[in-house]
Amino acid sequence: MYVRDNDPEIGKWRLIEADADGSNEKVLLIVPLHQILQAVAWSPDGKAVAASFLNGSGDSSAEIDLFDFAKGNWTPWVKLTDKLVHGIVWVPDGRWIYALYASKDGQLFRNTQIGAFSYPGGQFRPITKDANDYSMLSASPDGKILATIQTREQNEIDIISATSGNSLSVLPGIVPQQTFKSLDWTPDGDLLLSQGSRVIRASANKTDMVTVLSDPSSVIDFIAVCDSGRSIILTWFYRNGENPIGIWHVNPDGSDPTSLVSTKGPVLWNCSADGKWLYYLDRADTRGIYRMPLAGGSSRVIPGTVFSNSLIRAMTLSPDGHTLALFLNSFSPQTRIYSDNITLLDLQDSPNPSVRVLNLPADPKFVFHFTDPPSNSAFHFTPDGRFLALVSENTGVDNIWFLPLDGSKGRQITNFKSELIPDFRFTADGQKVAVLRHHTEGDVIMLYNSESSSR
């Protein structure tokens, strides 16, 4: 059995060989976190394993490497600059490794399709070329049939009461199949929505929508309204085909884009409500969390923001700017058990913030759905600063949970019966919450080898 393991103990990905019951572990490969292990596949004779990687440091490259058990070493097989490979299957005759891949369109990687790499030569040929997305890939025992899932997104944005959790309305004018990356409220009660290559402004009670920002060659990910609506801060990938990853500032109408930070890896960030400070974490930088003036100036590392044996999943800043909350996934080298906690940094204790840890209750289970690239979605302070709001999951259904800062269990404030929640945002007065709700529909598709079947 071979598993991939994101190991906070060493801050890297590991590929592990183990028996079927998980015993007799042996580490085969260790790579940095920015070299993201996507999938592994056995060779038909059991003498090798193929592993696909995504380089998350901004150069948009991918590769498939081979591990030879007899030699005990890794060999680069194919290096890709125009494709990202998400899943692989090595079919029984050994001649092909089938793959789920996204092909580059300009600077971006679009829909996931199915292709094949010849073995051992590594030549590529596409299998599907359409507007659908495919997820998961499996081959029949004889290798003559591929099974995959053709997927379609379904989204809606609900406006609910932050005090009672009752639904107030559904944001009109939303096409369910559209992609939504992030959202936030404007001071006058409209919503800013990131749809990937553009940001739109939508009225909460009318179908009016205005494009604030558009860049078809890019991805606009996490967005936030800062400084009482005088600034929009956003994560922008490949703006005008350049600057792989960066944090940008634009005016409320989308004008005057200004680069604040260029990063080497995926980035987490928050802006202070008063518009003075930006806090950010570059995944490819191991020195910790930075703080910089939004008006311009140099970035400085906040002391004590490197946490051993832990990965920061999300972070959020309190409304008064005094507390930075970090959601950590931590690993115990002694027990080899993973656990989640929330670490609170008191930023008033300068230059070394004091640290307080909230150990999370065993129930509910808190989840994050936007992980590639990671963002601050679904982890926010309530506007009064008394609670942290997260998404809890129970039997595939998400709801919003208020967690008190004293570490007590808290309470669920919504009562949805279906859907996942990738993100939500509060109005400044704390009376309403905009909730992005999502599910994926899929059909199982069979692809038959034309060499062995007429179907």
Indicate if 9 and 118 belong to the same structural domain.
Answer: yes
Region 417-440: mean pLDDT is 94
For residue 429, give its domain range. Answer: 154-439
Residue 400 lies in a domain: yes
- Is the domain of 210 the same as that of 281? yes
Strands 290-293 and 277-282: antiparallel
Length reported for the chain: 455
- Does residue 77 lie in a domain region? yes
pLDDT above 80 for 144: yes
**Residue 331 CA from chain centroid, whole number:** 20
Backbone angles phi, psi at 363, to 5 degrees: -135, 130
Evaluate if residue 448 carries a pLDDT over 60: yes
| Average confidence score pLDDT of the chain | 86
pLDDT of residue 10: 43
164 assigned to some structural domain: yes
pLDDT for residue 8: 44
Same domain (yes/no): 251, 379: yes
Task: Supply φ then ψ for residue 280, to 5 degrees.
Answer: -150, 155
Does a structural domain hold residue 149? no
Same domain, 277 and 422: yes
Residue 237: band (very low, low, confident or very high) from pLDDT cuts 50, 70, 90 = confident
Give the model's pLDDT for residue 206: 81
Please give the backbone phi and psi of residue 18, each rounded to the nearest 5 degrees, phi first: -150, 160
Tell me the C-alpha to C-alpha distance, in Å, between residue 93 and each of 43, 65, 139, 167, 372: 9, 19, 12, 55, 34
128 and 179 co-located in one domain? no
C-alpha span between 114 and 365 (Å, rounded) = 34
User: Residues 208-229: what's their mean pLDDT?
Assistant: 89
Distance CA 409, CA 358 (A): 11
pLDDT at 87: 92
Q: Which residue has the tokens 């260790």?
A: 30
What CATH number did the domain enclosing 112 receive?
A: 2.120.10.30
- Residue 200 corresponds to which tokens in the numbers above? 């739109």
Q: What is the pLDDT of residues 193-207, one digit of tens each?
A: 998 889 999 998 888
State residue 450 phi and psi, 5-degree precision: -70, -20
Domain boundary residue, one of 111, 143, 175 = 143
CA distance 282 to 261: 10
- 289 vs 28, higher pLDDT: 289
Q: In three state form, how does the secondary structure of the chain look? A: CEEEEEECCCCEEEEEECCCCCCCCEEEEEEECCEEEEEEEECCCCCEEEEEEEECCCCCCEEEEEEECCCCEEEEEEEECCEEEEEEEECCCCCEEEEEEEEEECCEEEEEEEEEEECCCCCEEECCCCCCEEEEEEECCCCCEEEEEEEEEEEEEEEEECCCCCEEEECCCCCCCCCCCEEEECCCCCEEEECECEEEEECCCCCCEEEEEECCCCEEEEEEEEHHHCEEEEEEECHHHCCCEEEEEECCCCCCCEEEEECCCCEEEEECCCCCEEEEEECCCCCCCEEEECCCCCCEECCCCCCCCEEEEEEEECCCCCEEEEEEEEECCCCCCEEEEEEEEECCCCCCCEEEEEECCCCCEECCCCECCECCCCEEECCCCCEEEEEEEECCEEEEEEEECCCCCCEECCCCCCCEEEEEEECCCCCEEEEEEEEEEEEEEEEECCCCCCC
- Mean pLDDT of all residues in 231-238: 90
Which pLDDT score is estimated for 2? 43
Query: Is residue 138 located within the same domain as residue 160?
Result: no
The pLDDT confidence band at residue 12, using thresholds 50, 70 and 90, is low
Task: Specify whether the CB–CB gap between 104 and 82 falls below 8 A.
Answer: yes
Q: Are residues 251 and 359 in the same domain?
A: yes
What is the percent of the chain where pLDDT is above 70? 87
What is the predicted pLDDT for the residue at 120? 94
Domain membership flag for residue 115: yes
Categorize the per-residue pLDDT at 178 as very low, low, confident or very high, splitting at 50, 70 and 90. confident
> Bridge partners of 89?
98
User: pLDDT tens digit string along 294-335?
Assistant: 988 899 999 989 998 888 989 999 999 999 999 998 888 888
How many domains does the chain divide into? 2
- Residue 22 pLDDT: 65
Within a domain: 302: yes
51 in Cβ contact with 40 (< 8 Å): yes
Instruction: Let me know whether 317 and 396 are in one domain.
Output: yes
The last residue of one of the domains, among 120, 143, 166, is: 143
State how far the Cα of 237 lies from the Cα of 217, in Å rounded to an integer: 9
Same domain, 173 and 226: yes
Q: Is 454 within a domain?
A: no
Domain check: are 179 and 234 in the same one? yes
Q: Is residue 446 part of a domain?
A: no
Clarify whether residues 136 and 161 are in a common domain.
Answer: no
Cis status, amide bond into 373, omega within 30 of 0: yes
Average pLDDT for 63-87 = 88
Is residue 224 very low, low, confident or very high in pLDDT (cuts 50, 70, 90)? very high
Which of 29-38, 113-122, 125-134, 144-153 is predicted least confidently? 29-38
Within this chain, do residues 115 and 169 fall inside the same structural domain, yes or no? no
Instruction: Determine which of 57-61, 118-122, 388-392, 416-420 has the lowest per-residue pLDDT on average.
Output: 57-61
Q: Which of 143, 165, 190 is the last residue of a domain?
A: 143
pLDDT at 104: 72
pLDDT category at 109 given cuts 50, 70, 90 is low
Query: What strand order describes the sheet that includes 12-17?
Result: 2-7, 12-17, 26-32
Q: How far, in Å, CA of 403 to CA of 295, rounded?
A: 33
Residue 3 pLDDT class (50, 70, 90 cuts): very low
Rounded to whole angstroms, how far apart are CA atoms 260 and 337?
38
143, pLDDT greater than 90 = no
CA distance 116 to 130: 16
pLDDT band at 1 (very low <50, low <70, confident <90, very high): very low
Write down the pLDDT at residue 205: 80
Q: What is the pLDDT of residues 18-73, one digit of tens each?
A: 776 667 776 666 655 556 778 889 999 989 989 998 775 555 678 999 988 888 88
